[in-house]
């Protein structure tokens, strides 16, 4: 008997796999996740994973023969009144459609997922005994609807805020991090939030964690944390989220392999933090 031939794959199969990894019901109400460009019926032999649907990322993927781009940040967050191919979004849409490449986004649902962005960030920082900062809502059958937003975890051993900030900087491969709070305060528990963390600051104050690690934190956030006798470490938006790209590609690769589907899946190597240090 001839060996089984690989099963032909289409966009719908990748969408199904992504919905296993990051169930759509975990997305925030304001968010726009899912298939943003393309057709569920388009065939897929190659997939690329990236953080952002940048024009350079899309153009590179099209040149490389990629059939589907999976991103964390959405290209289309709010309804479009027009598609102007001279605009940034319009040029991306034009490039994707000309290359017949589908674009799929998993945003806040991937933040909350059990093996999503916050989970990967917390593990990368060496936190243990992880629990969500904001627990998941219950579904109609009473079961948990995912891991929830943010994470709280214990350090392997207590250390000062100053030492922890340096450890975080090294683990994320950064030139610097921003820190607020007494550098000599002892830390046993840390809370993390990938991306922009200001919205979860109130939830952080309700926990027993001594330090909050996130990105895009504001001056008044730092003052509030300082006044509460706690600590804050701002690692930047990009660094707190880009680390999901390789693990997400690996998860997709495993699911496609388990399903007997011959799909090439890789991680985008072009992206860099738009912010850099000067002087």
Give me the pLDDT at residue 178, please. 97
Does residue 72 have a pLDDT over 70?
yes
Q: Which CATH architecture has domain 114-235?
A: 3-Layer(aba) Sandwich (3.40)
Average pLDDT over residues 157-183: 98
Give me the pLDDT at residue 139, please. 55
What tokens does 208 get? 């027993």
The fold adopted by the segment(s) 11-108+244-267 is 3.40.1390
CA distances from 277 to 1, 171, 176, 190 (A): 62, 19, 9, 26
Does residue 92 have a pLDDT over 90?
yes
pLDDT tier at 147 (50, 70, 90 boundaries)? confident
Do 57 and 69 touch, CB atoms closer than 8 A? yes
Give me the pLDDT at residue 85, please. 96
Average pLDDT over residues 182-211: 97
What phi, psi does 125 have (nearest 5°)? Answer: -85, 0
The more confident residue out of 143 and 267 is: 267
Does residue 34 have a pLDDT over 90?
yes
Does residue 169 have a pLDDT over 60?
yes
CA distances from 240 to 11, 124, 203, 260, 262 (A): 28, 10, 18, 33, 31
Give me the pLDDT at residue 250, please. 98
pLDDT tier at 145 (50, 70, 90 boundaries)? low
What pTM was computed for the model? 0.94
**Which residues belong to CATH 3.40.1390.30 in the chain?**
11-108+244-267, 114-235
pLDDT > 90 fraction of the chain, expressed in percent and rounded? 91
Greatest alpha-carbon pair distance for the chain in Å reads 73
Give me the pLDDT at residue 277, please. 85
Q: Which residues are annotated as a binding site for a divalent metal cation?
A: 72-73, 111, 237, 241
236-276 pLDDT, tens digit each: 999 999 999 999 999 999 999 999 999 999 999 999 999 98
For residues 249 and 71, give the distance between their C-alpha atoms in angstroms, rounded to a whole number. 11
Give me the pLDDT at residue 2, please. 44
For residues 242 and 253, give the distance between their C-alpha atoms in angstroms, rounded to a whole number. 18
Q: Which residues, 6+ apart, have CB-to-CB distance to 137 below 8 Å? A: 145
Give me the pLDDT at residue 94, please. 98
Give me the pLDDT at residue 6, please. 59
For residues 173 and 171, give the distance between their C-alpha atoms in angstroms, rounded to a whole number. 6
Does residue 181 have a pLDDT over 90?
yes
Average pLDDT over residues 112-133: 97
95-108 pLDDT, tens digit each: 999 999 999 999 99
In whole numbers, what is the pLDDT of the chain averaged over residues? 94
In terms of residues, how long is the chain?
A: 279
For residues 155 and 168, give the distance between their C-alpha atoms in angstroms, rounded to a whole number. 11
Does residue 142 have a pLDDT over 70?
no
Give the residue among 140, 128, 110 at the shortest CA–CA distance from 23.
Answer: 110
Q: Which residues are annotated as a binding site?
A: 72-73, 111, 237, 241
């Amino acid at each position: 008997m001839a060996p089984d031939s690989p099963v032909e794959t289409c966009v719908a199969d990748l969408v199904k796999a992504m919905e296993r990894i990051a169930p759509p019901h975990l997305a925030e109400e304001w968010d726009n996740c899912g298939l943003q460009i393309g057709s569920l019926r388009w065939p897929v032999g190659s997939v690329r994973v990236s953080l952002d649907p940048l024009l350079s990322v899309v153009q590179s993927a099209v040149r490389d023969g990629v059939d589907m781009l999976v991103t964390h940040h959405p290209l289309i967050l709010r309804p479009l009144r027009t598609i102007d191919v001279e605009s940034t979004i319009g040029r991306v849409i034009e490039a994707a459609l000309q290359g017949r490449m589908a674009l799929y986004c998993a945003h806040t649902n991937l933040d909350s997922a059990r093996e999503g962005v916050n989970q990967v960030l917390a593990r990368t920082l060496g936190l243990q005994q992880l629990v969500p900062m904001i627990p998941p809502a219950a579904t109609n059958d009473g079961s948990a609807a995912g891991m929830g937003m943010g994470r709280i975890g214990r350090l392997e051993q207590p250390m000062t805020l100053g030492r922890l900030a340096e450890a975080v900087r090294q683990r994320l491969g950064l030139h610097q991090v921003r820190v607020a709070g007494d550098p000599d305060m002892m830390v046993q528990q840390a809370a993390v939030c990938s991306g922009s963390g200001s919205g979860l600051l109130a939830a952080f104050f309700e926990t027993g964690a001594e330090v909050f690690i996130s990105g895009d934190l504001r001056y008044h956030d730092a003052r509030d944390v300082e006044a509460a006798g706690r600590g804050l470490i701002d690692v930047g938006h990009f660094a707190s989220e880009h680390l999901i790209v390789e693990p997400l590609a690996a998860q997709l690769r495993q699911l496609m392999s388990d399903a007997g589907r011959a799909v090439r899946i890789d991680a985008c190597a072009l992206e860099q933090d738009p912010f850099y240090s000067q002087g």
